[in-house]
Every structure is written in C-alpha cells, then in structure tokens.
Homo-oligomer: A and B are copies of this chain.
Amino acid sequence: MLPPNLRPISVDDHIIEPPNVWVDRLPRKWQDVGPRIVEVEDASGKNDGQARQAWRWEGRIYKNVGLNAVAGRPRRTWGLDPVRYDEMIPGCYDVKARVTDMDKDGVQASLNFPTFPRFAGTLFLEGEDKDLALACVQAYNDWHIDEWCGYAPDRFIPMVILPLWDADLAAAEIRRTHDRGALAITFPEMLSSLGLPSIHTDYWDPVFAAAQELGMPLSMHFGTSATVPMPSSDSPIPVSFALYGCNSMYATADLLFSKILQRFPGTKVSLAEGGTGWVPWLLERLDYTWDRHRHYTDIPQDTPPSETFKKNIWVCHIEDATGVELRSEIGVDKMMWECDYPHSDSLWPKSQESLLKTLADVPTTEVQAIVEDNARKLFNFDADLRKVG
C-alpha cells in the first residue's frame, strides 16, 4: 500500500506553449518576427485537409506545435503529432486545465519542460538576431515563472531555459530568473552535437558556477542533444523510444569522466526520461573502466565514478521495476518519479495504479523518498513553505 498521504512529484512533464507566450511579451518592434502561431497548409494529407498550425519565427516555420502531446487520444492515432491546439486536451497548454489533470492523476507537483523552444531551449540557438533570441528566452522564462507556475506555486517547480550561445549571458539569466523564483535549469544532455563546446572544455564554467552557487539543478532531458538512438536508418520508431536511456547513459559517463564535477563539486544533475534500472550496471562498468584506464588518460584520478555519481547525479523513471529492485545500489536518495504528461510514454491518468504496482513491496519511507521527498530536496521545493510565504 502506498502511504495515503503520498503527494507524488513528477520531475518530467511537458508544456505545449500557448500562442500568446511571445506575442504578449516581446516589444512591439519584434512582434512580427517573434514566435507566433500561424495557419499553414498540411501537405502531409494525413489530417483530412484540415489546416495545421505552426510556429513562425524570423520567417521560419516550425511544425512541431504539439510534439507527441497525445495524452487523452486513442493509441491508434499516436503516430501523428497533433498539428492543431484543438487536437490536444487543454491540459497540454492551459495551466488551469493542467492542474485539473494533475488532480485526476493524484500528482501534487510537476517540473515542466518546454516544447517549441525544445526541451532545453536549444531552438533559440538558431536565431539570426541574437538580441531577439535572448528576448525570446527571457519571455519564455518570465511567462513560465509568472503565468504557468505562478498560477499555482505549490504545484509547479519553475525551470528556465538559457541563451546557450553565450555562457556568460546564460549565467546572467540563471541569476536573473533565480531572483524571480526559478529553482531549476533545463540543460542539454550533450553539447557537441549541437555545435557547442562540450563539458570537457571550461566554456560552461560560468553556468556551472552559477548553478552551484544558487543550488539549482541542471535537468538534462533525453533528446536535448539533438540526437536520438536510431540503430538503423529505417528502425521503427519504438526502437528509438526503447533506447532513450542510452542517451542518459552517455550523459552520465561523459559527466563522470569529465573534470567539471571536480571544479564544481556542488553541481546537481537530474537526468529525465532515461529510466533507472541501468544505473548499477553502468556504475560498475564505469568503475571497472576507471580502474584500468585512468593512469594514461585525462580523467579524474582520485575518486571512482560511482562515488561522484552518488554526490552529483539524480535519476527518475515512469515505471521501472528493475530500478526499484536495484534501488539500494542506485541509491534510494537519488531516485525520483516522472509522469511525462502529456507524452505517449506517460501513464496518465493511471499513474497511481502504476505506483501502487511497482512500489508495492517497498518500505514506506523509501516510497516517500522516491515519489516525493527526493524531488522536494533536490529542487529546494517546499510547497507548504511556499504556500505560507
């Protein structure tokens, strides 16, 4: 039995940004070139000739309006991304409806990744006008803090995106938004594939320094590196879904064999949508590799990677019986739960059923840690305090 007073916190959900985010907040001079929703022809023919909606920004058209926002839709239709707002349930983009949907699922609080800006805000790297791009980043963050999380501060953990083309600007945005209430940063799981310097350089030191100083976790969602697991060029899409965790393994190994967690030992990294059951295997493998290969390579020399993991990295799962079985090897204090609303991986509105099934044999204090307390502690998110204050 789950504790009756359990208030699950999901550390991985998604917002479909409503059309007004940038229209409302950008200065008049950027109204036309800034992101706005437009109606476009649907050339795919999949949608019965109905016009689709898309984002337009600096004249470019982005058609991923409803990327994988399939919650509440019949499974047989899942192959098609929703192409119009009216094809999605309102909880995707309307915060009031979202809270209702969280209530239906028994979810107390939620950490939300953006969609149009991509899960780690990497879209804005494409901006030709970097002043506009910075304004777009800030508009998203302000909207997210004020309108989304601000609607119900005890239900949402504010998480911000960064102007990734400039590490100093990014650090400044961390400080600016932390002052406004932000508690977390969404950051790419890997950087090279985005054309950015990797964590093996000192380029990101201003970001890691600010995050460490302010105690803000870097939440690294699967897929934010612009790469997805695809063993064959024609692999069916479920192959990629099943292998999401490999990206999290890549990020984990890269972090633990970098020097950045030595320079910033207070760094907190939360891996999203990668699962947890692979962790003991990878930590053992990392230690084996470290033991044999550190002497002739430029990796941390003094601390085994499994120890660094225990200090710096958190993981989560939707449903992962293997992870639950191996929780003492992963670290019960490093595991969290995610709902993944409104994506196809989510069990919404049956999360409680899943939690009851997979945590049935777990002691109550450990359930409490995994489902709620670890997230509160990691993100410095105390709903009761926030309500009072």
Chain A interface (Cβ < 8 Å from any Cβ of B): 75-79, 190-192, 198-201, 225, 229, 231-239, 241-243, 245-246, 249-251, 253-254, 257-258, 275-278, 280-282, 284-286, 288-290, 292-299, 319-323, 326, 329, 344-345
> Which of A77, A286, A288 has the most chain B CB atoms inside 10 A of its CB?
A288
Please measure, in the bound complex, the distance between the C-alpha atom of A75 and the C-alpha atom of B296, giving whole angstroms.
7
**In whole Å, how far is A377's beta carbon from the nearest beta carbon of chain B?**
25
Please measure, in the bound complex, the distance between the C-alpha atom of A366 and the C-alpha atom of B362, giving whole angstroms.
29
A322-B236 contact in complex given A231-B190, A231-B250, A253-B243, C-beta closer than 8 Å: no
Q: Report yes or no: B231 in contact with A297, Cβ–Cβ below 8 A.
A: no
Q: Which residues of chain B have C-beta atoms less than 8 A from A258's C-beta?
A: 236
A234 to chain B: closest residue by CB: B200
Q: Report yes or no: A236 in contact with B281, Cβ–Cβ below 8 A.
A: no
Q: Which residues of chain B have C-beta atoms less than 8 A from A323's C-beta?
A: 281
Q: Report yes or no: B281 in contact with A245, Cβ–Cβ below 8 A.
A: yes
Q: Which residues of chain B have C-beta atoms less than 8 A from A232's C-beta?
A: 190-192, 198-200, 254
**In whole Å, how far is A79's beta carbon from the nearest beta carbon of chain B?**
4
Q: Which residues of chain B have C-beta atoms less than 8 A from A225's C-beta?
A: 231
Please measure, in the bound complex, the distance between the C-alpha atom of A75 and the C-alpha atom of B77, giving whole angstroms.
56
5 further A-B contacts with Cβ under 8 Å, apart from A238-B299, A276-B281, A281-B281, are: A78-B293, A198-B235, A200-B236, A225-B231, A292-B344
Q: Report yes or no: A77 in contact with B293, Cβ–Cβ below 8 A.
A: no
Q: Which residues of chain B have C-beta atoms less than 8 A from A275's C-beta?
A: 281, 285
Q: Report yes or no: A345 in contact with B292, Cβ–Cβ below 8 A.
A: yes
A242-B286 contact in complex given A75-B295, A234-B198, C-beta closer than 8 Å: yes
A296 to chain B: closest residue by CB: B79
Q: Report yes or no: A238 in contact with B288, Cβ–Cβ below 8 A.
A: no
Please measure, in the bound complex, the distance between the C-alpha atom of A320 and the C-alpha atom of B288, giving whole angstroms.
9
Please measure, in the bound complex, the distance between the C-alpha atom of A248 and the C-alpha atom of B191, giving whole angstroms.
24
Please measure, in the bound complex, the distance between the C-alpha atom of A238 and the C-alpha atom of B197, giving whole angstroms.
19
Q: Which residues of chain B have C-beta atoms less than 8 A from A319's C-beta?
A: 288
Q: Which residues of chain B have C-beta atoms less than 8 A from A321's C-beta?
A: 284
Which of B75, B77, B293, B299 touches A344 (beta carbons < 8 Å)? B293
Q: Report yes or no: B231 in contact with A298, Cβ–Cβ below 8 A.
A: no
Which of B78, B233, B277, B284 touches A296 (beta carbons < 8 Å)? B78
Q: Report yes or no: A289 in contact with B192, Cβ–Cβ below 8 A.
A: no
Please measure, in the bound complex, the distance between the C-alpha atom of A280 and the C-alpha atom of B281, giving whole angstroms.
10
**In whole Å, how far is A283's beta carbon from the nearest beta carbon of chain B?**
9
Q: Report yes or no: B242 in contact with A289, Cβ–Cβ below 8 A.
A: yes
Q: Report yes or no: A76 in contact with B231, Cβ–Cβ below 8 A.
A: no
Please measure, in the bound complex, the distance between the C-alpha atom of A299 and the C-alpha atom of B254, giving whole angstroms.
32
Please measure, in the bound complex, the distance between the C-alpha atom of A245 and the C-alpha atom of B243, giving whole angstroms.
12
**In whole Å, how far is A262's beta carbon from the nearest beta carbon of chain B?**
13
**In whole Å, how far is A272's beta carbon from the nearest beta carbon of chain B?**
15
Q: Report yes or no: B292 in contact with A75, Cβ–Cβ below 8 A.
A: yes
Q: Which residues of chain B have C-beta atoms less than 8 A from A242's C-beta?
A: 253, 257, 282, 285-286, 288-289
**In whole Å, how far is A153's beta carbon from the nearest beta carbon of chain B?**
33
Which of B281, B294, B298 touches A278 (beta carbons < 8 Å)? B281
A229-B241 contact in complex given A75-B296, A192-B234, A320-B281, C-beta closer than 8 Å: no
Please measure, in the bound complex, the distance between the C-alpha atom of A388 and the C-alpha atom of B294, giving whole angstroms.
47
Please measure, in the bound complex, the distance between the C-alpha atom of A275 and the C-alpha atom of B199, giving whole angstroms.
27
A254 to chain B: closest residue by CB: B231
Please measure, in the bound complex, the distance between the C-alpha atom of A233 and the C-alpha atom of B322, giving whole angstroms.
32
